Structure 1
Amino acid sequence: MVKVAVLGAAGGIGQPLSLLLKLNPNVDELSLFDVVNVPGVGADLSHINSDSTTQAFVPSSKEDKTALASALKDSDLVIIPAGIPRKPGMTRDDLFNINASIIKGLAEGIAESAPKAFVLVISNPVNSTVPIVAETLKQKGVYDPARLFGVTTLDIVRANTFISQLYPKESKPSDFNINVIGGHSGETIVPLYSLTNSKSYYNKLSADQKKELIRRVQFGGDEVVQAKNGAGSATLSMAYAGYRLAESILKSFTSSEEIVECTYLNLDSSIKGADEAKKLVDGLDFFSLPVVLSKNGIAAVKYDILNQISDEEKQLLVVAKDQLAKNIAKGVEFATK
């Protein structure tokens, strides 16, 4: 029996994410938590004739912690899209003070009610919220770095789509699986177009086209915020991206095949390859890299990719590392003050 909990299930990301999870044959029990509106979402999803059961939990007051505890109890996988969305002109850092408190409270709930669960953090700014979850779980004595994932998959989804759009007659988005490393905001996002089958397409672009493509991947969220004219941010594409990582993790519970996904992880020495990766990123504690998934979490970090990148990508990485160091420190400071 596999139980998945979605914290923030009534939001713009939470609803489509929950729908996708309801359809996944590897999910036996879907548990939905939010501070408002989630009973209606749960009732709606429960009418779908997939085999998983659905329960929804909403606290009766701000002091009520029983709803969160019930939602989390015995969960194998917890996904956190909770928090406020970006608004026009708002950066991911602008979200920090609001979302950081929400995330810390949810992490405390996970520590108490689902300490062995795999935790996927979608809530922005991921570069800082993942360190907050890590520090909170450490404080509670239940931290396992192999089971904590920052969801950066949307950057991969965009990287695949955007290069394909430049070659509509020669390719389609599903032809690509671009590795995107670094972090999950602006210039911390480093798509590695020089590797795999994207290299031949990328090399045909002019310097200006390359620059524009990289920038579009890094700031793709702004396109959606502007197109929605203040009514929201990237919710549907983010829900799909979060589901893609969750789906791979669910497969890894039973699959004998190697499953690899990029994720923003804690480069802790208990994870195979993490020490080597950490040296290559100037000692950063958190970084997005391709990892091998297993039933016990992150089995290994594929750090060799850092030795294969182009000179252009190395320059992007310099900027990314500088910004990431500040983002990580901000999250750790918040969680430990």
Structure 2
Amino acid sequence: MVKAVIAGASGGIGQPLSLLMKLCPLVDELALYDVVNTPGVAADLSHISSTAKITGYLPKDDGGKAAMKDADIIIIPAGIPRKPGMTRDDLFKINAGIVKGLIEIAADVAPKAFILVISNPVNSTVPIAAEVLKAKGVFNAQKLFGVTTLDIVRAETFVAEIAGKKTGSELTVPVIGGHSGETIVPLFSQISPSGVTVPDDKYDELVNRVQFGGDEVVKAKDGAGSATLSMAYAGYRFAEKVLKAAKGEKGLVEPSFVYLPGVPGGKEIAEKTGCDFFSVPIELGPNGAEKATNVLGNITAKEQKLLEACTTGLKDNITKGVTFAHNPPQK
């Protein structure tokens, strides 16, 4: 029996993500949690004739604990979306507090769950989650993931457009670093299958589009939201890989923002980048993050420059998260 939880299930990402998880044959029980509307979302989805039994919870009567109790996988898209003119930094104070509260519940009632953090800014919310789990004595670096899959999905899609491929899913484009702006580093030199290249005259434009694709969506939605549907797809894609790997399927690799010193193969990457949290291709298995793949040895001079800008910003983001976890603002 696999129990999955979506914390933030009524929101712009949460609802389509809940739909996708309801359709997933790997899920037996799907618990939805949010501050509003969750019973309605659950009732709506419960009419779909797929495997997962669905329940919806609100904060009253310890709904968070009831939703997360004994979960195998907890996906957290909770928080407010980015609005026009808003940086991921602006989101920080609100979303940081939300994530901290949810992780505190998860640590108490589902200490062995895989935890997938979608709530932005991921560069800071994942370090917050790690510090909360450490304080509760249940931190397992192999089971905590920052979901950066949307950056990979965008890179695949945009490269496919340039390369004349029918779909980006034919390609593997490693994207490393963090999950905002300049901290996102697409490694176009390591696209597979080999032979697919990005022309020099399109390189800078494409890097910028992968790094700031979220702004494209915020602008197009004209103040009505951010990237919700593509993020729900990306969150589902990563969650499905985690669940398949937990059941023993081999060869499942996806970049994710993890605590490198706690993942096999990660220590060397942490030393090279100077960042304890960093997204690199992760080999998934029954224990979660089984191996971090060091892709830094083959990067080009252009990618090295991108990496330097990435690590400068990322270190600040990580420190901000750790500081918040230990000294949250007084209400």
Match of 2:200 among 169, 192, 206: 206
Q: Which moved more, 1:190-199 or 1:258-267?
A: 190-199
1:60-108 CA deviation, whole Å, 9 max, x = no partner?
A: 3xxx5x1000000110000000000000011111100010110100010
1:236-269 CA deviation, whole Å, 9 max, x = no partner?
A: 000000000000001001234221111000012x
3-state DSSP class of the match of 1:299? Answer: strand
The CA distance in 1 between the partners of 2:193 and 2:26, in whole Å, is: 32
Q: Which moved more, 1:192-201 or 1:156-165?
A: 192-201
| TM-score (normalizing by structure 1) | 0.95
State whether residues 178 and 198 of structure 1, in contact with CA within 8 Å, keep that contact through their aligned partners in structure 2. Answer: no
Tell me the equivalent position of 2:308: 318
State whether residues 13 and 228 of structure 2, in contact with CA within 8 Å, keep that contact through their aligned partners in structure 1. Answer: yes
The CA deviation at 1:199 is: 5.9
1:185-229 CA deviation, whole Å, 9 max, x = no partner?
A: 0000001110133664434x134x110000000000011001100
Letter in 2 for 1:278: A
The CA deviation at 1:278 is: 1.1
How do 1:216-255 and structure 2 match up within 5 A? Answer: 216-255=209-248
**What is the RMSD of the two structures over their aligned residues, measured on CA atoms?**
1.2
3-state DSSP class of the match of 1:166? Answer: helix
3-state DSSP class of the match of 1:194? Answer: helix
The CA distance in 2 between the partners of 1:210 and 1:249, in whole Å, is: 32
The CA deviation at 1:287 is: 0.1
Letter in 2 for 1:287: F
State whether residues 191 and 197 of structure 2, in contact with CA within 8 Å, keep that contact through their aligned partners in structure 1. Answer: no
Letter in 2 for 1:44: D
The CA deviation at 1:310 is: 1.1
The CA deviation at 1:171 is: 4.3
Runs of 4+ deviating beyond 2 Å: 196-203
The CA distance in 2 between the partners of 1:173 and 1:111, in whole Å, is: 37
- Are positions 1:276 and 2:268 aligned together? yes
Q: Which moved more, 1:252-261 or 1:35-44?
A: 252-261
| TM-score (normalizing by structure 2) | 0.96
How do 1:78-227 and structure 2 match up within 5 A? Answer: 78-168=74-164, 170-197=165-192, 200-203=195-198, 205-207=199-201, 209-227=202-220
State whether residues 177 and 280 of structure 2, in contact with CA within 8 Å, keep that contact through their aligned partners in structure 1. Answer: yes
State whether residues 202 and 210 of structure 1, in contact with CA within 8 Å, keep that contact through their aligned partners in structure 2. Answer: no
Aligned residue pairs, count? 327
Letter in 2 for 1:321: T
Structure 2: gaps spanning 5 or more residues? none
The CA distance in 2 between the partners of 1:97 and 1:257, in whole Å, is: 39
3-state DSSP class of the match of 1:237? Answer: helix
The CA distance in 1 between the partners of 2:180 and 2:143, in whole Å, is: 22
The CA deviation at 1:276 is: 1.2
The CA deviation at 1:132 is: 0.4
Tell me the equivalent position of 2:21: 21
Tell me the equivalent position of 1:329: 319
How do 1:22-101 and structure 2 match up within 5 A? Answer: 22-60=22-60, 66-101=62-97
The CA deviation at 1:333 is: 0.2
The CA distance in 2 between the partners of 1:85 and 1:128, in whole Å, is: 16
Structure 1: gaps spanning 5 or more residues? none
Match of 1:296 among 267, 281, 287: 287
1:136-181 CA deviation, whole Å, 9 max, x = no partner?
A: 111111111110000000000000001111233x442122121100
1:33-59 CA deviation, whole Å, 9 max, x = no partner?
A: 000011110000000000110000012
Distance 1:79 1:90, change over 3 A: same
Q: Which moved more, 1:46-55 or 1:271-280?
A: 271-280
